[in-house]
Amino acid sequence: MEWLVSACFGVMIACGVYLVLRARTFPVILGLTLMGYAVNLFLFLTGRLTTNLPDIISGNQTRYADPLPQALVLTAIVIGFAMIAFVVVLSLRALGELDTDHVDGQQEKPPS
Amino acid sequence: MINHLIVGPLLLPLLVGTVIVLNTNQPIARLRILGLSSCLAVLVMAGILLFQSAQGPIQSYVLGDWPTPFGIVMVLDRLSAMMLFITALLALLCLAYAARGTDRQGKNFHALFQFQLLGINGAFLTGDIFNLFVFFEIMLLSSYGLVLHGGGNRRTRAGMHYVMLNLVGSSIFLVGVGILYSLLGTLNMADLAVRMSQAPAENAALLQAAGLILFAVFALKAALLPLCFWLPDAYGFTSAPVAALFAVMTKVGVYVILRVYCLIFSEFAGVGANLLSAWLLPAALITLAAGTAGVAGSRDLRRITAYLVIVSVGTLLAVIGTFQREAIAAAIVYLPHTTLMTAGMFLVADLIQRQRPDAGSGLTPDRPVGQPTLLGLLFLAAAVAIAGLPPLSGFFAKVMMLMTVKDNAGAPWIWGMVLGGGLLTLMALGRAGSVIFWKLLPGDDPETGPENTRDSGPVYALADLFPAAALLAISPLLVLFGGMITEFAFAAADHVINPVHYIEAVLGPDRSLPLLYPSGGE
């Protein structure tokens, strides 16, 4: 299972980086979202991949699912959501003010 | 006895900010009073904390009284107390400047300002690396709002780069923190330092990678060279009081680099020992060179000041990059000076800009400013302080930094860069001053020209000039109390460079033994 999850993480990051480098606000936002998802998955994995373990420490169990990554990932999701919401609004405003969806605020010059 | 005052600088801006958010439709005078009194109260608290920290040991504050490695701790040592005090002082003066009109340009300025203060103070106080991420995000989200405050195409364009770069930075931060947690099983910075020293050799590569991933994020915050191109636009185009407050935001990056790499990746850290010593000094020197080139090449006073922020970060990190106790002490002496003077220059540049309706802060000839003597004196004081000329604090701090690094292998480079950078800064500021105050358009002499009846911007009252003048007046005070400050800086550097004090203050006595006796057992 490890290789499958690692591959998912890697593919998501790669797609995210590719989209961010597109330099148009819509792909960039999609890319940032994908990177955010990938990082959330990664944080979740820091508790190790395990199955069938209790989520609460009990007397007769020696091993249990690590609760902390779940708390961390929840925080990261909330913060990431707020950031993406902000950058969507900012992009809309930039589109209105600058009349282009390029992140530099000006159209690239066509190749001569 | 728990010192509850430690969370004061966090709780008060949070409460006041919330109250302001709920009352944005109140008359702006009330919001100003609320914001200013909050800043003043934070300043008083930070002053008391600074005094306490100078007297006593490192204090830790355990939120919710959870047992230490599990709960979140706030840690107050001398360095963080000093950073709190600088931030509070700067915030009060910036808000006083903004209350003269800037804050009218948008509805939520005062609320954002308080949350910004919360984020910065939190980043200085926290002793938990994930909590550091949370405070970074609070700081950034408020700063996004503040950068865009007032609107305009240029601010939106600069804001886009700033926001997107920092979003990528946040993702990378989480990856670094995730690796540290998965290998060491803790997020408490003191506990991380202990467990790092005991980490087995097979994890060395991953732990070092995590450390350098985190360095990339902190370098983005501090604006080290490959990651500094967002800064001139963001700081140069935003409103002046915001830019002045942001002078301390890059210092958050400097502070965190100092804290994390002297604690978690210190010389006792086993597989992660001295992680940054090979990287920080060269990166900082290149940053210093690039910043100086920007200062010398800019044709606009606001942009020159923005590049001065990069120069200041480069200088600080070059000296810190030697990781010697004396050099860090010298950097701690230089830090308040450079933060407050750069902020002062942002305010002076704005005062000049508003009295030059045609050229603004650009270095092109224009009609004379309305109050050339006053503004000229303010500019002269700011320029002398920043360039590091004798009567003011920049000179003494720079001499101290150069003297303390003279035995280091990188000393010739540091000396050359800092002195050469100082010379070029002096020339750039001299040129800026002579163009702005002396190179006037013909026919504008009040006696001869008819144009002097044209509108030449607002005439400043004392209250307009006070915040900038007060910031610059701190420079002679830093010289006057230089002995005291130097003593304090050496004591602060003792606590920073030796992780044992920090660990024992957070985790309890004897918990730092694994660091000092890594073989264990004996």
Closest CA to B477 of B402, B399, B381: B381
- Statement: residue B483 has pLDDT above 60: yes
**Count of domains observed in chain A:** 1
Q: Is residue A92 in a domain?
A: yes
- Statement: residue B521 has pLDDT above 50: no
Asked if residue A32 lies in contact with residue A20, where contact means CB atoms within 8 angstroms, the answer is: yes
Q: What is the pLDDT of residue B388?
A: 83
d(CA B408, CA B406): 6
Q: Is residue B43 in a domain?
A: no
Closest CA to A16 of A5, A2, A1, A29: A29
Q: Is residue A82 in a domain?
A: yes
Mean pLDDT over each residue of chain A, to the nearest integer? 86
d(CA B23, CA B11): 18
Q: Does A11 touch chain B (CB under 8 A)?
A: no
Q: At what angle do helices B462-480 and B393-404 cross, to 10 degrees?
A: 40
Q: Is residue B448 in a domain?
A: yes
In A, which residues are within 8 Å of B141 by CB distance?
82-83, 86
In B, which residues are within 8 Å of A48 by CB distance?
182
Give the residue, B286 or B510, on which the prediction is more confident. B286
In A, which residues are within 8 Å of B181 by CB distance?
46, 68-69, 72
Q: Is residue B328 in a domain?
A: yes
Mean pLDDT of the B415-437 span: 90
Mean pLDDT of the B399-412 span: 87
Mean pLDDT of the A25-37 span: 93
d(CA A83, CA B307): 28
> Considering CB atoms only, which of B137, B144, B171 is closest to A39?
B171
Q: Is residue A104 in a domain?
A: no
Q: Does A57 touch chain B (CB under 8 A)?
A: no
Share of chain B above pLDDT 70, in %: 95
Q: Is residue B421 in a domain?
A: yes
**pLDDT-derived band at B520, boundaries 50, 70, 90:** very low
Q: What is the pLDDT of residue B275?
A: 84
Asked if residue B249 lies in contact with residue B112, where contact means CB atoms within 8 angstroms, the answer is: no
* Range with lowest mean pLDDT among B210-219, B321-330, B350-359: B350-359
* Range with lowest mean pLDDT among B96-100, B275-279, B446-450: B446-450
- Statement: residue A106 has pLDDT above 70: yes
Nearest-Cα residue of chain B relative to residue A82: B141
- Statement: residue B519 has pLDDT above 60: no
Q: Is residue B438 in a domain?
A: yes
State which H helix or E strand residue B314 sits in.
helix B301-320
- Statement: residue B19 has pLDDT above 80: yes
| Owning domain of residue A38 | 2-51+65-98
**pLDDT-derived band at A111, boundaries 50, 70, 90:** low
Alpha helices, H only, A1-112: 2-20, 25-45, 68-98
Mean pLDDT of the B141-158 span: 87
**pLDDT-derived band at B518, boundaries 50, 70, 90:** low
Residues 6+ apart with CB under 8 A from A6: none
What φ, ψ does residue B450 adopt, rounded to 5°?
-80, -15
- Statement: residue B447 has pLDDT above 70: no
- Fill in the amino acid letter for B482: G
| Owning domain of residue B306 | 278-502
Q: Is residue B243 in a domain?
A: no
d(CA B309, CA B288): 10
In A, which residues are within 8 Å of B177 by CB distance?
43, 72
Q: What is the pLDDT of residue B237?
A: 87
Q: What is the pLDDT of residue B522?
A: 34
d(CA B367, CA B454): 10
Q: Does A76 touch chain B (CB under 8 A)?
A: yes
Mean pLDDT over each residue of chain B, to the nearest integer? 87
Q: At what angle do helices B325-354 and B301-320 cross, to 10 degrees?
A: 180
Q: Is residue A12 in a domain?
A: yes
Residue B197: both structure tokens together: 């020293």
Q: Is residue B479 in a domain?
A: yes
The single residue listed with the structure tokens 């709002």 is B145
Highest mean pLDDT among A25-39, A98-112, B384-398, B499-513: A25-39
Q: What is the pLDDT of residue B316?
A: 92
**Count of domains observed in chain B:** 1
Alpha helices, H only, B321-480: 325-354, 372-387, 393-404, 411-437, 462-480
Q: Please, what sign has the CA dihedral across residues B355, B358, B361, B367?
A: negative
Residues 6+ apart with CB under 8 A from B363: B298, B299, B300, B301, B431, B432, B435, B436
Share of chain B above pLDDT 90, in %: 42
Residue B91: both structure tokens together: 């915030």
pLDDT digits (tens, 9 = 90+) for B163-222: 999 999 999 999 999 999 999 888 999 889 888 888 888 888 999 999 999 999 999 999
Asked if residue A55 lies in contact with residue A64, where contact means CB atoms within 8 angstroms, the answer is: yes
